[in-house]
Chains A and B, each alone.
Chain A
């Protein structure tokens, strides 16, 4: 067991990358501490799977190094890296029984049959596959097959980290929940580092202690679910996490105070940023916008009921601002004023948080 460090990593699928867009992964350094539960979150095509395949060794990065503890493994093939990986579509060996499937990685490594048998039965019990051992793997349902894929990683004693590449894509909705809790339980039980790739924020936020958010080949933020929610480092994180996403509004700065549409917006700290031609925006989540006796005047455009709360679309000039109003709270008539919570209002320059 050891931590995984990626240093100055960069990758392109092209032989001769020229422009910025040719790089599937832009220069990044990320440390994954031993025993952590990580989620790698981002939209399709942002480079999540590329990053995962570099960690597992299915891809060799164009630039940079991969370290497992004090061992450099950049050029090492996957079978020597002590990595297990579960793919989007379940991979089982059709001709084998469930038992033989689970034995396969151990037999390939020349482990004695008695040890293989003991370990396979132990893991099968852990995954509730015990009764299915003699059955042909091809006949199982998708979630059963995905458990086998996972089991082939778990049987190995030497595994440093288990990587999941959107493993619940083909699982029925009601079983997704079951499998996800199973994963969480397994993580607590065996304490192996787990890295879970997904584009679903619910999956990421419920599974992980630390979420790594990626956007266009860059890691935009690494943090706990609370960090991502309360202090998004990039407007993309604000948009992508939360439902509805963060309000992002153009602003100016005067004397360390942001101005939105000519009106001052209070923030916790004065903004040290000097306007050097960057695109300036303020970001505030709908949860932290409320109606107030005075503030920014708005027209209420639309109210949608989401059960415990209502989503209100308000308009100031050409800018649309969303806010959440808890159930039962009185809504003002058409014209109203809104207020941003100073502790949760951030200023962004070219997309990145200032301070």
Chain B
């Protein structure tokens, strides 16, 4: 083998990317790591604290409660949005003018800025002037999301389902469209029932896009901030204070930079771990 030519100038060409990644990811992350092991009272004075903040966060009942709320919320919306999205995608027309109409209608919620979604639903659900709030109360059900934790959860989940089911629909629909007609024709000739067609043709063909849909919905919902912040502000009480809202309260409300940094890193590791678990579970057949 010929000796490798070394040309240090090559480093110049990768420098822009190195800088970009550094400023974009590495430096902010290391700053957070830096904060998470120290105590500061301002004036740029720091004291070494080791793993104290980590221990504090992991033992904090407040953190446990937020994490539990977060997991419950994410679990509920995944259980609703994924089957609902698949069902809608299955019901959508496969050809003709209806396809474009449905796609545009489905894409609309995704185009609305998140804080606008929160504001819309806030007004929509207000018990005295909101259309939804008035309607529910009109049916004789006492509903006030600004005061009842149950009503607040119901509204938050409904809002998220409205906002994000479309994403699952679009991905599932793309998966369905990639199935050649011959599969449906062969299934007809084999005498397959509608359920068998779904179970053995449509679901396997949608598996990859559904994996992406579930991962995206998991990550996004696990880090949800803007919409519930605008809708409920985390209340009533702490009932809809999810992890991100709690984190912002600690970091910017109480200015506890150390614990907030430790919590950020734990939060990040949880998301990473759960993504890995999801992905491994869904792809385990693929490897065989």
Determine if A105 and B191 form an interchain contact, defined as CB atoms under 8 angstroms apart: yes
Determine, out of A83-91, A173-181, A257-265, the stretch whose residues face the partner at the interface.
Answer: A83-91
In the bound complex, residues from chain A placing their C-beta under 8 Å from that of B185 are 53, 58, 78, 85, 87
Q: Which of B182, B193, B200, B288 contacts A93 (CB 8 A)?
A: B200
Cβ-based interface call for B186 (8 A): yes
Determine if B189 and A95 form an interchain contact, defined as CB atoms under 8 angstroms apart: no
Cβ of B191 to closest chain A Cβ, rounded Å: 4
Cβ of A4 to closest chain B Cβ, rounded Å: 16
Given A87-B182, A94-B204, A96-B200, A109–B191 Cβ distance below 8 Å? yes
Measured in the bound complex, the distance between the Cα atoms of B186 and A78 in whole Å is 9
Measured in the bound complex, the distance between the Cα atoms of B190 and A78 in whole Å is 9
Cβ of A351 to closest chain B Cβ, rounded Å: 34
Cβ of B94 to closest chain A Cβ, rounded Å: 15
Measured in the bound complex, the distance between the Cα atoms of B146 and A76 in whole Å is 59
In the bound complex, residues from chain B placing their C-beta under 8 Å from that of A78 are 185, 188-189
Interface centre among B185, B190, B192, B201 (most CB of A within 10 A): B190
**Contact indicator per residue, chain A 302-337, by CB within 8 Å of chain B (1) or not (0):** 000000000000000000000000000000000000
Q: Which of A58, A88, A105, A136 contacts B288 (CB 8 A)?
A: A136
Measured in the bound complex, the distance between the Cα atoms of B182 and A28 in whole Å is 26
Q: Which of A79, A88, A94, A136 contacts B189 (CB 8 A)?
A: A79
Q: Which of B180, B182, B196 contacts A108 (CB 8 A)?
A: B196
Cβ-based interface call for A149 (8 A): yes
Measured in the bound complex, the distance between the Cα atoms of B69 and A238 in whole Å is 78
Determine if B186 and A149 form an interchain contact, defined as CB atoms under 8 angstroms apart: yes
**Contact indicator per residue, chain B 153-190, by CB within 8 Å of chain A (1) or not (0):** 00000000000000000000000000010110110111
Cβ of B133 to closest chain A Cβ, rounded Å: 46
In the bound complex, residues from chain B placing their C-beta under 8 Å from that of A95 are 200, 204
Determine if B188 and A58 form an interchain contact, defined as CB atoms under 8 angstroms apart: yes
Cβ of B211 to closest chain A Cβ, rounded Å: 15
- Chain B residue at minimum C-beta to C-beta distance from A149: B186
Secondary structure of the B contact surface, majority rule: helix
Interface centre among A83, A84, A105 (most CB of B within 10 A): A105
Measured in the bound complex, the distance between the Cα atoms of B201 and A95 in whole Å is 8
Cβ-based interface call for A26 (8 A): no
In the bound complex, residues from chain A placing their C-beta under 8 Å from that of B200 are 93, 95-96, 104
Given A79-B191, A84-B189, A108-B191, A91–B204 Cβ distance below 8 Å? no
Interface residues on B, range: 10 to 19
> Would you list which residues of chain B between 182 and 227 have a CB under 8 Å from chain A?
182-183, 185-186, 188-193, 196, 200-201, 204-205
Measured in the bound complex, the distance between the Cα atoms of B81 and A156 in whole Å is 41
In the bound complex, residues from chain B placing their C-beta under 8 Å from that of A109 are 191
In the bound complex, residues from chain A placing their C-beta under 8 Å from that of B183 are 91
Determine if A87 and B188 form an interchain contact, defined as CB atoms under 8 angstroms apart: no
Cβ-based interface call for A48 (8 A): no
Determine if B288 and A108 form an interchain contact, defined as CB atoms under 8 angstroms apart: no
**Contact indicator per residue, chain B 9-43, by CB within 8 Å of chain A (1) or not (0):** 00000000000000000000000000000000000
- Chain B residue at minimum C-beta to C-beta distance from A163: B189
In the bound complex, residues from chain B placing their C-beta under 8 Å from that of A94 are 204-205
Measured in the bound complex, the distance between the Cα atoms of B186 and A105 in whole Å is 10
In the bound complex, residues from chain A placing their C-beta under 8 Å from that of B205 are 94
Measured in the bound complex, the distance between the Cα atoms of B188 and A136 in whole Å is 22
Determine if A89 and B182 form an interchain contact, defined as CB atoms under 8 angstroms apart: yes
Cβ-based interface call for A77 (8 A): yes
Determine if B191 and A93 form an interchain contact, defined as CB atoms under 8 angstroms apart: no
Cβ of B248 to closest chain A Cβ, rounded Å: 44
Cβ of B252 to closest chain A Cβ, rounded Å: 49
Determine if A91 and B188 form an interchain contact, defined as CB atoms under 8 angstroms apart: no
Measured in the bound complex, the distance between the Cα atoms of B180 and A133 in whole Å is 25
Given A96-B200, A108-B196, A136-B288, A91–B191 Cβ distance below 8 Å? no
Measured in the bound complex, the distance between the Cα atoms of B197 and A79 in whole Å is 14
Given A88-B182, A94-B204, A95-B204, A108–B188 Cβ distance below 8 Å? no
Determine if A152 and B190 form an interchain contact, defined as CB atoms under 8 angstroms apart: yes
> Would you list which residues of chain A between 81 and 126 have a CB under 8 Å from chain B?
83-85, 87-89, 91, 93-96, 104-105, 108-109
Cβ-based interface call for A56 (8 A): yes
In the bound complex, residues from chain B placing their C-beta under 8 Å from that of A105 are 189-191
In the bound complex, residues from chain A placing their C-beta under 8 Å from that of B190 are 79, 104-105, 108, 152
Determine if B182 and A77 form an interchain contact, defined as CB atoms under 8 angstroms apart: no
Determine if B201 and A93 form an interchain contact, defined as CB atoms under 8 angstroms apart: yes
Determine if A85 and B193 form an interchain contact, defined as CB atoms under 8 angstroms apart: no
Determine if B192 and A108 form an interchain contact, defined as CB atoms under 8 angstroms apart: yes
14 additional contacts (CB under 8 A) given A95-B204, A108-B192:
A58-B185, A58-B189, A77-B188, A83-B189, A85-B185, A91-B183, A93-B204, A94-B204, A104-B190, A104-B200, A108-B190, A108-B196, A152-B186, A153-B189
Q: B: which residues have CB within 8 A of A?
A: 180, 182-183, 185-186, 188-193, 196, 200-201, 204-205, 288
Q: 8 interchain pairs (CB within 8 A)?
A: A77-B188, A79-B191, A83-B189, A85-B185, A89-B180, A104-B196, A108-B192, A108-B193
